[in-house]
């Protein structure tokens, strides 16, 4: 798909606007549609502000800023997608609404227009089933903020044609993004593999082992993550993070590994979403103080080791189930959520036997299936193999 192709984006929220910004920066004409005219106006104002900041920082010049905004048609008319070569949907995470929208889009666009969803966890096959020409449908999952985050997950459904997959991936590669190919399974790579980063941290808190600040300190200062799990959940929004957790849990037929936490549920119900609401696991009100962590290194290492082995086990299982290649799994976690290392490479460094022993201890201690070691991990320890030579 060349630079002449018109890119459609449905939804003028932060994700949709970010995708529109990327496409326009890559010299595509863009149609950004939202039925809410107030959302459109807000999106345009925010984008102008972002571009002005980039000019100030000398990342782009004034002429480039004007050209980028000039390539975007802000519209409240979905029929304006009729000339697009691809339309990327970035609306609410609701399967019924997405299916209705894709049925409607198919009546507007040309026969060879690619229809893509930016969903973070919903079934692409299910979305594609709403279209008569379902082979044109694919998942293209950006990470927020889309212009800054390098990773994009490319998710072909069982119906997606090779031509659609190859064209979509080549387009996003051309936008200077790092693409990974993943199976159409709940959470894809990142939102599946990352579940224990939140879930195990919440469980450690609920058991009274450590408070939010101490767990975050352990994961940043000792384990090298850029953000602790509670700071990150507050940044994402507890409403969004909890909804994804519930979606993945249900989609995996209630596998205990993805069981949601009552702590997060109650925070979400209370409206304590995090930064955007002024209160989450931490208080963001003006003048509020951040609690001091307990900097006991033995405790910190116990916390970090427990969360890391759970993350590694999830990555190993994703490889075992052919969700993606080992390279794409590691790339996804370093480029999509800024992990300090690829989890499978990290596993080799720690030692697979050591990881298996830690998981078997937790499994025996709790009798909970969430701690069951991956079959692939057991096999690799038995056969004295590593992921990378």
- Asked if residue 250 lies in contact with residue 260, where contact means CB atoms within 8 angstroms, the answer is no
Token readout for 41 is 């106006």
What is the fold of 7-181? Rossmann fold (3.40.50)
pLDDT digits (tens, 9 = 90+) for 197-219: 999 999 999 999 999 999 999 99
Cα 49 to Cα 304: distance, rounded to the nearest angstrom:
39
Residue whose C-alpha is closest to residue 160's, from 186, 200, 206, 124? 124
- The full DSSP string for 165-177 is HHHHHHHHHHTT-
Q: Residue 269 pLDDT > 80, yes or no?
A: yes
pLDDT digits (tens, 9 = 90+) for 274-331: 999 999 999 999 989 989 999 999 999 999 999 999 999 999 999 999 999 999 999 9
Query: What pLDDT is attached to residue 243?
Result: 87
DSSP 3-state helix, strand, coil percentages of the chain (rounded to 5)? 55, 10, 35
Token readout for 273 is 């979403």
Residues in CB range of 95: below 8 A, 6 or more apart: 122, 123, 126, 127
Cα 161 to Cα 137: distance, rounded to the nearest angstrom:
8
Mean pLDDT (whole number) for 213-236: 96
Strands (E), the chain: 7-10, 30-33, 72-75, 86-89, 114-117, 137-142, 151-156, 178-181
215 sits in which H/E element:
helix 212-217
Query: What pLDDT is attached to residue 346?
Result: 98
Location of each CATH 1.10.1040.50 domain in the chain = 192-382
**Residue the block writes with tokens 């916390």:** 303
Location of each CATH 3.40.50.720 domain in the chain = 7-181
Query: What pLDDT is attached to residue 282?
Result: 97
User: How far apart, in Å, are the Cα atoms of 372 and each of 314, 317, 355?
Assistant: 10, 11, 12
Burial class (CB in 10 A: 0-12, 13-18, 19+), 350: middle
Mean pLDDT (whole number) for 120-143: 96
Strand 137-142 versus strand 151-156 pairing type:
antiparallel
Dihedral (Cα; 211, 337, 165, 186), 10-degree rounding:
-10
Residues in CB range of 140: below 8 A, 6 or more apart: 88, 116, 117, 118, 152, 153, 154, 155, 168, 172
Dihedral (Cα; 43, 165, 187, 365), 10-degree rounding:
-150
Please provide the average confidence, as pLDDT, over all residues in the chain: 96
Query: What pLDDT is attached to residue 27?
Result: 95
- Asked if residue 233 lies in contact with residue 198, where contact means CB atoms within 8 angstroms, the answer is yes
Query: What pLDDT is attached to residue 227?
Result: 96
Beta bridge partners of 73: 31
Cα 78 to Cα 81: distance, rounded to the nearest angstrom:
6
pLDDT digits (tens, 9 = 90+) for 346-372: 999 999 999 999 999 999 999 999 999
Residues belonging to the active site: 120, 141, 153, 191
Q: Residue 389 pLDDT > 90, yes or no?
A: no
Confidence at 257, pLDDT banded by 50, 70, 90: very high
What's the CA angle centered on 329, arms 24 and 264, to 5 degrees? 85
What is the phi/psi pair of residue 259, to 5°? -60, 130
Residue whose C-alpha is closest to residue 145's, from 55, 226, 270, 50? 50
Beta bridge partners of 154: 140, 181
Query: What pLDDT is attached to residue 4?
Result: 73
What is the distance of C-alpha 377 from the center of its chain? 25
Q: Which CATH architecture is the domain 192-382 placed in? A: Orthogonal Bundle (1.10)
Q: Residue 2 pLDDT > 90, yes or no?
A: no
Burial class (CB in 10 A: 0-12, 13-18, 19+), 151: buried
Q: Is 20 helix (H, G, I), strand (E, B) or coil?
A: helix
- Asked if residue 336 lies in contact with residue 190, where contact means CB atoms within 8 angstroms, the answer is yes
Query: What pLDDT is attached to residue 9?
Result: 98
Beta bridge partners of 155: 139
Q: Residue 144 pLDDT > 90, yes or no?
A: no
- Asked if residue 194 lies in contact with residue 311, where contact means CB atoms within 8 angstroms, the answer is yes
């Amino acid at each position: 798909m060349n630079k002449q192709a018109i890119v459609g984006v449905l939804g003028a929220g932060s994700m949709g606007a970010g995708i529109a910004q990327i496409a326009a920066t890559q010299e595509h004409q863009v149609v950004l549609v939202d039925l809410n005219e107030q959302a459109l106006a807000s999106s345009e104002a925010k984008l102008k502000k972002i571009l002005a900041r980039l000019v100030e920082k000398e990342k782009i010049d004034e002429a480039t800023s004007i050209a980028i905004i000039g390539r975007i048609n802000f519209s409240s008319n979905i029929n304006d997608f009729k000339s697009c070569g691809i339309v990327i949907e970035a609306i609410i995470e609701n399967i019924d609404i997405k299916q209705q929208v894709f049925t409607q889009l198919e009546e507007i666009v040309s026969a060879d227009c690619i229809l893509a969803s930016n969903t973070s966890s919903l079934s692409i096959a299910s979305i594609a089933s709403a279209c008569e020409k379902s082979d044109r449908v694919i998942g293209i999952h950006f990470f927020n903020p889309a212009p800054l985050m390098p990773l994009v997950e490319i998710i072909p459904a069982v119906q997606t044609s090779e031509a659609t997959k190859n064209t979509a991936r080549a387009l996003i590669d051309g936008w200077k993004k790092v693409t990974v190919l993943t199976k159409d399974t709940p959470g894809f790579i990142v939102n599946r593999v990352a579940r224990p980063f939140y879930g195990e941290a919440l469980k450690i808190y609920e058991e009274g082992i450590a408070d939010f600040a101490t767990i975050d300190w352990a994961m940043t200062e000792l384990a090298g993550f850029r953000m602790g799990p509670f700071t990150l959940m507050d940044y994402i929004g507890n409403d969004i993070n909890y909804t994804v957790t519930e979606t993945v849990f249900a989609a995996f037929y209630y596998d205990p590994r993805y069981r949601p936490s009552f702590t997060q549920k109650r925070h979400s119900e209370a409206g304590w979403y995090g930064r955007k609401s002024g209160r989450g696991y931490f208080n963001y009100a003006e003048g509020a103080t951040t609690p001091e962590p307990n900097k006991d290194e033995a405790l910190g290492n116990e916390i970090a080791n427990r969360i890391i082995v759970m993350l590694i086990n999830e990555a190993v299982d994703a490889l075992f189930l052919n969700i993606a290649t080992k390279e794409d799994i590691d790339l996804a976690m370093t480029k999509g959520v800024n992990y300090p290392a690829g989890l499978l490479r990290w596993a080799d460094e720690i030692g697979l036997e050591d990881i298996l022993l830690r998981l078997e201890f937790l499994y025996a201690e709790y009798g909970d299936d969430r701690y069951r070691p991956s079959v692939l991990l057991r096999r690799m320890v038995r056969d004295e193999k590593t992921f990378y030579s």
